[in-house]
Structure 1
């Protein structure tokens, strides 16, 4: 529980202090997914709680509201990914991890792109007049790459932490 609380605190803090590139409705905040992805290695509940904390962090960060909506969709990939990892722990290593990372990045990107598409098509006023295709391209390609990088950072940190504070998902590591 305390690890989840610390990860949630980081998830709230990161959108406020880390460097970012903002091209509404897209934003790419350095390491913003890392606490969520580490939480995915703890439990599905931890992943959901940290994802909700991240959405709160984006809400209070002062960024445009559609970025908060995008952050709220992280619950989807976090829950799916964490549930899968708890059933298939072998996907935390090597090539299998990278395959898992690509699939999770796709789910992550599709969820974010879907919410932005919904907001744009229902006439979110401050997004009116934007080129839908270019926005979705920036979101999808940029978001996919961002997700891949952040999960590799998360796994690096989780493995380092595991040496001092063993995580259950790595219990069979030697």
Structure 2
């Protein structure tokens, strides 16, 4: 990669990190039991995935650092788990960029990335549930399946697919400018 491409990726990653940190600070949060969903909170990571694996990793790490500074540990650890789906998704898209353009392929890709995202977040939240920390007595009484698998797992799957769709809608008009810039 040329020096210009490195600089371009660094600048884009910085902007997307800022967006990824600012969105959760100002967007309304939907709270369901142990889960908090912030609309569009994954958009910066998805946009980074569309650009390159390196940008996806940088944005995932940058937003995680932002979350460690501004949110409780469980939220920051959930953000850290984004590195997994971002890297896998970006790697796949770097080899199959047409995926985003084909509606059926894009939906399948979105579902698979969201599934990876959900499993990672369930794995992060499970020790907190098992130890009883950060969960109320009522949430513990609801059980692991309702509190973690349904709220965290299924909730993350749906939230991820919605944010992916928002990202694709943003990406489609922006991609030509990004491609032109990347080729310089």
| TM-score class normalised by the smaller sequence | 0.7 to 0.9
Rg (Cα) greater in structure: 2
Three-state SS of the structure 1 residue aligned to 2:40 is: coil
CA distance in 1, matches of 2:34, 2:90: 27
Q: Are 2:65 and 1:56 aligned?
A: yes
Give unpaired runs (5+ residues) of structure 2.
1-9
Paired position in structure 2 for 1:148 = 161
| Alignment partner of 1:99 is 2:102 | no
Q: Deviations over 1:74-115 (max 9, x none)?
A: 000000000011111221122111110010010000100111
The size of the alignment, in residue pairs, is 167
Moved more, 52-61 or 26-35: 52-61
Equivalent residue number for residue 138 of structure 1? 151
* TM-score, normalised with respect to structure 2: 0.83
Instruction: Name the structure where helix makes up a greater proportion of residues.
Output: 2
Q: Contact 1:12/1:56 (CA < 8 Å) preserved in 2?
A: no
The equivalent position to 2:82 in structure 1, one of 74, 81, 94, is 74
SS in 1 for 2:22: helix
Say what the alpha-carbon RMSD is for the aligned residues: 2.0
Structure 1 segment 34-49 matched on structure 2, within 5 A: 34-49=43-58
CA-to-aligned-CA distance 1:45-86 (integer Å, 9 cap, x gap): 111111122223333333x32111111100000000000111
TM-score where L is the length of structure 1: 0.87
| 2: CA distance, partners of 1:103 / 1:89 | 16
1:3 deviates by: 1.3
Structure 1 gap segments, 5+ residues each: none
> How far 1:5 sits from its partner (Å)?
0.8
